[in-house]
Amino acid sequence: VAVLRQSGSSSVCNFSQGEEEEKVWRQEEIMEFAELIKTPRVDGVVLHRPFMPKVEGTLCLTGHHLILSSRQDNTEELWLLHANIDSIEKRFGFLGTIIVKCKDLRVIQLDIPGMEECFNIASSIEALSTLDSLSLMYPFFYRPLFEVIEDGWQLFVPEDAFKDLESMTDEWRLSEVNKDFSVCPSYPSLLTVPKDIDDESLCKAASFRHGGRFPVLSYYHKNNGMVMMRAAQPLTGTNGRRCKEDEKLINATLCAGKRGYIIDTRTITVAQQAKARGGGFEQEANYPQWRRIHKSNVLQESLIKLVEACSDQSHSVERWLSKLEASNWQSHVKEILTTACLAAQCIDREGASVLVHGTEGTDSTLQVTSLAQILLDPACRTIRGFQALIEREWLQAGHPFQQRCAQSAHSNGKLRGEAPVFLLFLDSVWQILRQFPCSFQFNESFLVMLFEHAYASQFGTFLGSSVAEREKLQLCQKTVSLWSWVNRPQELERFLNPLYEPNNLVIWPSVAPQSLLLWEGVFLRWNRSTKCLDEAYQEMVHIIEYNKELQNKVNSLRRQLAELETEDRPLQTP
Amino acid sequence: MEHIRTPKVEQVKLMDRFSNKSVTGTLHLTATHLIFVESNSTSSQEIWILHHHIASVEKLSLTTTGCPLLIQCRNFRVVHFIIPRERDCHDVYSSLLSLLRPVSYEELYAFSYNPKQNDQQREEGWQLIDLAAEFERMGVPCDQWQLTDVNRDYKVCETYPRDLYVPITASKPIIVGSSKFRSKGRFPVLTYFYQEKKAAVCRCSQPLSGFSARCLEDEHMLQAISKANHNNRCIYVMDTRPKDNYSNIRFQFVGIENIHVMRGSLQKLLEVIGMRSLSMTDYLVGMENSGWLRHIKAIMDAAIFLAKAVTVEGASVLVHCSDGWDRTAQVCALGSLLMDPYYRTIKGFMVLVEKDWISFGHKFADRCDQLDPDPKEVSPIFTQFLECVWQLTEQFPQAFEFSEWFLIQIHEHVHSCQFGNFLCNSPRQREDLQLKERTYSLWAHLLREKQNYLNPVYSPKYAESHPVLEPSTQAYHFRFWRNMYHQYDRSMHPRQSILKHVLTLKETNQELEGTVEALKSKLQKLGASTSPLKPHTSPRGRTLPSRPKSLILGAPPVSLKEADEELFGEEATEDPPVCTGAQRTVEGSSATENGYKELMNEPSVVTLEFGVARMTC
């Protein structure tokens, strides 16, 4: 996905057998995309990147990669997925220049000798980076150079999650009502619903909710048995339609005499306006046991402005702060964290169940439900648990990754549903990680890696927008899961937090603006040199590892000593 | 003391600054401290506030629950008490007003503070920092620079130290003539010598006459400085002020604002960050409008210019502002810190502060409001310098021997008036008051607690390979220093501190190394001889020496319990953190040395809970 990310070995010109195979297979690939690639190879291309020496070499275009190789030993090659390219700019002067702006926010410059070559390369990149057909995406062509030991596709199945739930409570059942995705196309086929609600009622409730997203279980808080559910907005419309089954469904989750909270991720005005378009919100009269809270979260353009601010070369502090403010990104982070804290507080502190929804129930709803789980459930702070959370609350819950991540900050065309919803979620997780640096099993690199792969990847995990779509594309059979790669011990090591000490408690981050930071690891990643910071981090890791080593040594010496003592004693006793 | 009308008020509520939480306790007023002791069976948090730390006391209008008293401190602590009876409140209020406005230096805490040391220990403390040795370290005196005795009796310049270094070609008449041409007699003298290129950093005050006037001696003085550098005859004159009408083309203007602008800027910043339910927009707009970070950057830019001129061009630089004791001190000190890795060590930083700030007469008494003050003289000039250093530690995490807690602790004591170092406005005043005989040195105190201020990832190797720091001045590198300005607002800090964690590990590692050696030698002995072993000599890891309790770092690792009970922002629920054992807040390091402890019948395990919050990063 990024330079050299997919296989460390390609950095050095030392072709292993596996790579030879890959080369052969790349030939086939080129055939398929041949008509899009007018000039597959240009010599004497110069690559410019911030804080790195320029590299001169040969530029090759394949169906999925832009490759720049210096053909020298020990010199890095650039391997860039076309899917990672957000937009390009062409400049024609003495040399042709292409500025490539990537979805991972990197900006690189390629100087290409020859106008025609430059023009051809540019138009090929444009075409290859905006392929419409999902089945032409790289994950369908990627063959792993590693042996898949643990298939990521089979790691997080709803049945297993339900088994865990069953061990804690018998109030819920697994419904197959959406088995053919006809009740709700964006839901998975198996859904956890209250035991007393039959499938027929579910269908009726589904017809009352936007996109058929009727209330389903998102999280069970085993400390006190409270639950978090999520849904889409109710379709009350202007004349205040109601649905008895929907009311019954969510009331079934309340204990006798208890009240619950409905967290609407829109402002009350936006929710009111939604009525005109057939949407709406739960009327108090029909949901007397529920208190509704509105929290807004609008997210658009924000990322573009933020990234623009970060790449501003002006050294004026005022200008920087003003642009940072104008982007509103940090406000969004604060808002979404506050809402997640609110949901978690209702559950853990107030002992009340919660229903979360916005309009479609596929964006801010998921941010809130997943962040709340990170606060409440220590399991979500482990590396496996976090993967399971993404699988459950994002992939299976039907976040439309395909639309949302089609473009990132450099998109200049008209937007077709792009929004950095997932990135905002990752940013919020990073904020919590910063405040509880010892409570997470994974580190910042893990979050950055997820960001990259959500936008462009050799793995199939983030392809498609719903379980239904993924099944149709047969991703399980035709592509490799990101988790299959991540969970290999050799890869996993990079993503582990050396400071981790399991913390079994609910964690409450501060949401004061002074406590929230700009996620420099993503937004300033390519605009600054991190050498000093990386070295300091290495030193910290070294101290921690050295500590473990010493502990082990002391233990083994003590054991040795104890053995000697017991051996010696019989000799001494007459 | 006659000022204290009510030494003790019960049932006082301490309100949380950013939420609606409160705790109830007893307020004590002593001659030196205001103390709040939480009355709770399970936890007894204490807050100690030194009178000198109090910047303002405000009595707000009466409410149904009582009379609110708002106290703002110079170390950025803000406490909000509600005292049930109006009369008690008024008594505390008026007592504080008279207590926190000492009229003479002798009333300051430093003169009564007694850390139970004998005279010899005290003397040794004062001898730790030796500026003559420092100039020797730089390679001065040398063939071009000499020590002059012209100011032996403070006759030429009252606000300079006795010992001054000047070019060998600068004769006494030149010096005296030049001093008459310069404001307050602060003629150009050496403050740092860059041995590698024989380039000098000199400092002075502004010339007294305007643009047209000339002073031959002053010109000779500059020539002498220029001649003392064989490598580069060109000399930069940096006027650190914004450009104004008497400009001369040889001058390099840097544009650091004056003390009044800086004071206003900090005030605006504190107003913004003190707001409850602050939105992100108001925060960022407020930061921008306060201009604080712009000022910090201006100082940094000037220091970078200075360091470049000296290290790259090998040119000598003369720095001045108006009086040569505010902006000049900032730029000279920060510039030297960029050039010389020694100043980035704990001892070296003390030397730097002693040299460029204390000895060259930064007016600490006026700027930090030590005596009944002129409010127009107060300004956070030294705080800004500390912040610039902090900004550098963020960019170069391995370049500094100390962590930010060292800087914060120095800041704390600049205002605490507990040690003699920062009292008064000039070396002469300090001598007159015989501070070295009557008070203690902060540096000795800090060196004793050195292990708490260490930066665990400091690398001396880094200093070798990067003698000169070249910071980036991209705007986004300038961040808000939360741990300084919110050091007492526990809810704003990360709940777990990487710094503290790693520092503890590093200490443990040293201990473990010792244990490994001990075990090895024991094993060797066992293997070599059959001499009988003493029974039950199970080797036990030595326990770490306990840290002095008075330190911000002296707390046990953050308990997870605490983390769990922490509440977020304004949405927090009402229940207070459940804590076991006693908790106390230690203001500066004054609390434990104070006799109050005996009164409290202290439990054996002390959790410095607020101290923990201050430690986090």
Judged against a pLDDT cut of 50, whether residue B498 lies above it is answered with: yes
Distance CA(B463)–CA(B532), nearest Å, equals: 51
- Beta carbons of A342 and B571 less than 8 Å apart: yes
* Ligand-binding site membership of B327 (annotated): yes
B577–chain A nearest CA distance, Å: 12
User: What tokens appear for A398 in the block?
Assistant: 């039907």
Q: Which of B486, B515, B546 is the last residue of a domain?
A: B486
Comparing B44 with A131, the larger pLDDT belongs to A131
CA angle A112, A117, A119 (to 5 degrees): 95
The DSSP H or E segment spanning B343 is none
How many domains does chain B fold into? 2
Check if the beta carbon of residue A302 is closer than 8 Å to that of residue A328: yes
**Which residues from A are below 8 Å from B476, CB to CB?**
310, 320, 518, 520, 524
Q: Which of B486, B517, B532 is the last residue of a domain?
A: B486
Beta strands in A24-74 (DSSP E): 41-48, 55-61, 65-69
Residue A550 counted as domain residue: no
- For residues B254 and B371, state if they share a domain: yes
**Which residues from A are below 8 Å from B475, CB to CB?**
312, 314-317, 319-321
- Beta carbons of B498 and A516 less than 8 Å apart: no
Check if the beta carbon of residue A191 is closer than 8 Å to that of residue A212: no
Check if the beta carbon of residue A520 is closer than 8 Å to that of residue A352: no
- For residues A102 and A206, state if they share a domain: no
Catalytic residues of B: 321
Contacts of B533 (CB under 8 A, 6+ apart): A565, A568, A569, B526
B543 confidence band (pLDDT: 50, 70, 90)? very low
- Beta carbons of B287 and A321 less than 8 Å apart: yes
Contacts of B86 (CB under 8 A, 6+ apart): B62, B66, B67
Residue B595 counted as domain residue: no
**Which residues from B are below 8 Å from A511, CB to CB?**
568-569, 571
User: What tokens appear for B486 in the block?
Assistant: 């919110």
- Amino acid A573: pLDDT: 47
**Which residues from A are below 8 Å from B506, CB to CB?**
543
Helix runs in B276-345, H state only: 280-290, 292-311, 327-339
Distance CA(B227)–CA(A215), nearest Å, equals: 84
- For residues A199 and A273, state if they share a domain: yes
Q: Which of B284, B344, B459 to mutate to test the interface with A (most CBs of A within 10 A)?
A: B284
Judged against a pLDDT cut of 60, whether residue B211 lies above it is answered with: no
**Which residues from B are below 8 Å from A347, CB to CB?**
none
Residue B180 counted as domain residue: yes
How far from the centroid of its chain's Cα atoms is residue A79's Cα?
22
- For residues A377 and A449, state if they share a domain: yes
- For residues A73 and A216, state if they share a domain: no
Residue A470 counted as domain residue: yes
> 3-state secondary structure string, B401-462?
CECHHHHHHHHHHHHHCCCCCCCCCCHHHHHHCCHHHHCCCHHHHHHHCHHHCECCCCCHHH
Comparing B514 with A23, the larger pLDDT belongs to B514
Domain of B344?
130-486
The answer, yes or no, to whether the previous bond of B456 is cis (omega within 30 of 0) is: no
- Amino acid B243: pLDDT: 54
For A514, the closest of B395, B480, B561 (CB atoms) is: B480
- For residues B64 and B13, state if they share a domain: yes
3-state helix, strand, coil in chain B (%, to 5): 45, 15, 40
CATH code of residue A51: 2.30.29.30
User: What tokens appear for A140 in the block?
Assistant: 């369908």
Residue A5 counted as domain residue: no
- For residues B302 and B445, state if they share a domain: yes
Q: Which of A317, A334, A434 to mutate to test the interface with B (most CBs of B within 10 A)?
A: A317
Distance CA(B340)–CA(B424), nearest Å, equals: 28
- For residues A120 and A162, state if they share a domain: no
Residue A542 counted as domain residue: no
CA angle A165, A169, A172 (to 5 degrees): 75
**Which residues from A are below 8 Å from B573, CB to CB?**
345, 349-350
Residue A183 counted as domain residue: yes
- Beta carbons of B397 and A557 less than 8 Å apart: no
The DSSP H or E segment spanning B162 is none
The 3-state DSSP class for residue B575 equals coil
- For residues A106 and A163, state if they share a domain: no
Q: Which of A308-317, B38-47, B362-371 bottoms out in mean pLDDT, i.e. has the lowest?
A: B38-47
- Beta carbons of A435 and B496 less than 8 Å apart: yes
User: Taking the CB of residue B172, how many other CB atoms lie within 10 A of it?
Assistant: 12
Distance CA(A205)–CA(A266), nearest Å, equals: 21
- For residues B240 and B360, state if they share a domain: yes
Residue B521 counted as domain residue: no
Distance CA(B502)–CA(B180), nearest Å, equals: 54
Considering only CA atoms, which of A187, A397, A164, A408 is closest in space to residue A301?
Answer: A408
Check if the beta carbon of residue A184 is closer than 8 Å to that of residue A212: yes
- For residues B98 and B137, state if they share a domain: no
For residue B193, the cross-strand partners are B200
- Beta carbons of A506 and B564 less than 8 Å apart: yes
* Ligand-binding site membership of B483 (annotated): no
CA angle A518, A523, A529 (to 5 degrees): 105
CATH code of residue B60: 2.30.29.30
Residue A543 counted as domain residue: no
Judged against a pLDDT cut of 70, whether residue B383 lies above it is answered with: yes
Residue B28 counted as domain residue: yes
Check if the beta carbon of residue B159 is closer than 8 Å to that of residue B135: no
- For residues A522 and A410, state if they share a domain: yes
Residue B549 counted as domain residue: no
- Amino acid A414: pLDDT: 66
Check if the beta carbon of residue A453 is closer than 8 Å to that of residue A439: no
Q: What is the DSSP letter of A256?
A: T
How many domains does chain A fold into? 2
Residue A361 counted as domain residue: yes
**Which residues from B are below 8 Å from A507, CB to CB?**
495, 563-564
- For residues B173 and B59, state if they share a domain: no
- For residues B59 and B150, state if they share a domain: no
Place of tokens 């990322």: A303
Contacts of A565 (CB under 8 A, 6+ apart): B526, B533
- Beta carbons of A547 and B508 less than 8 Å apart: yes
Question: Alpha carbon of A40 to those of A11, A60, A89, B127: distances in Å?
Answer: 21, 5, 19, 74
- For residues B358 and B321, state if they share a domain: yes
Q: Which of B474, B510, B538 to mutate to test the interface with A (most CBs of A within 10 A)?
A: B474
Distance CA(A98)–CA(A111), nearest Å, equals: 7
Question: Alpha carbon of B135 to those of A504, B67, B191, B318, B423: distances in Å?
Answer: 56, 56, 9, 18, 24
The DSSP H or E segment spanning A252 is none
Distance CA(A521)–CA(B289), nearest Å, equals: 27
Question: Alpha carbon of B157 to those of A384, B321, B525: distances in Å?
Answer: 70, 17, 68
Distance CA(B257)–CA(A310), nearest Å, equals: 27
Q: Which of A331-340, A417-426, B586-595, B596-605 bottoms out in mean pLDDT, i.e. has the lowest?
A: B596-605
Question: Residues B66-75: contacts with CB within 8 Å, 24+ apart?
Answer: B66/B13, B68/B15, B69/B93, B71/B34, B71/B96, B73/B49, B74/B368, B74/B369, B74/B415, B75/B411, B75/B412, B75/B415, B75/B487, B75/B488, B75/B588
A463–chain B nearest CA distance, Å: 34
Counting Cβ atoms within 10 Å, is residue A308 exposed (0-12), middle (13-18) or buried (19+)? middle
For B505, the closest of A527, A544, A557 (CB atoms) is: A544
- For residues B82 and B137, state if they share a domain: no
pLDDT, tens digit, for every residue of B59-89?
998 888 899 999 999 999 999 999 999 999 9
Q: Which of A508, A516, A544, A563 to mutate to test the interface with B (most CBs of B within 10 A)?
A: A508
* Ligand-binding site membership of B258 (annotated): yes
Distance CA(B63)–CA(A551), nearest Å, equals: 58
- For residues B192 and B265, state if they share a domain: yes
Judged against a pLDDT cut of 90, whether residue B213 lies above it is answered with: no
- For residues A127 and A258, state if they share a domain: no
* Ligand-binding site membership of B326 (annotated): yes
A433–chain B nearest CA distance, Å: 9
Question: Alpha carbon of B516 to those of A557, B456, B490: distances in Å?
Answer: 8, 21, 39
In one letter, which amino acid is B425? N
Residue B577 counted as domain residue: no
Strands B582-583 and B606-607: parallel
Check if the beta carbon of residue A525 is closer than 8 Å to that of residue A519: no
Check if the beta carbon of residue B71 is closer than 8 Å to that of residue B81: yes
- Beta carbons of A561 and B522 less than 8 Å apart: yes
- For residues A65 and A188, state if they share a domain: no
Contacts of B547 (CB under 8 A, 6+ apart): B449, B451, B452, B553, B554
- For residues A119 and A230, state if they share a domain: no
Residue B269 counted as domain residue: yes
Contacts of A360 (CB under 8 A, 6+ apart): A210, A211, A213, A232, A233
ipTM score for this prediction: 0.88
Rg (CA), chain B: 26
Domain of A509?
158-528
- For residues A291 and A397, state if they share a domain: yes
Residue pLDDT tens, chain A, 574 long: 333 333 333 333 333 334 444 554 555 555 567 788 888 899 999 999 988 888 899 999 988 999 998 877 667 788 999 999 999 999 887 788 999 999 999 999 999 998 888 999 999 999 999 888 888 899 999 998 888 889 999 999 989 999 999 999 999 999 999 999 999 999 999 999 999 999 999 999 999 999 999 999 999 999 999 999 999 999 999 888 999 999 999 999 888 778 899 999 888 888 999 999 999 999 888 888 888 887 655 566 888 899 989 988 888 999 999 999 999 999 999 999 999 999 999 999 999 999 999 889 999 999 999 999 999 999 999 999 999 999 999 999 999 999 898 888 887 666 678 889 999 999 999 999 999 999 999 999 999 999 999 999 999 999 999 999 999 999 999 999 999 999 999 999 999 999 999 999 999 999 999 999 999 999 999 988 888 999 999 999 999 999 999 999 999 999 988 888 777 665 554 4
- Beta carbons of A540 and B457 less than 8 Å apart: yes
Residue B346 counted as domain residue: yes
Q: Which of A131, A149, A183 is the last residue of a domain?
A: A131
- For residues A332 and A223, state if they share a domain: yes
Q: Which of B486, B502, B525 is the last residue of a domain?
A: B486
Residue A368 counted as domain residue: yes
- For residues B41 and B135, state if they share a domain: no
- Amino acid B551: pLDDT: 34
Q: What is the DSSP letter of B72?
A: E
- For residues B88 and B135, state if they share a domain: no
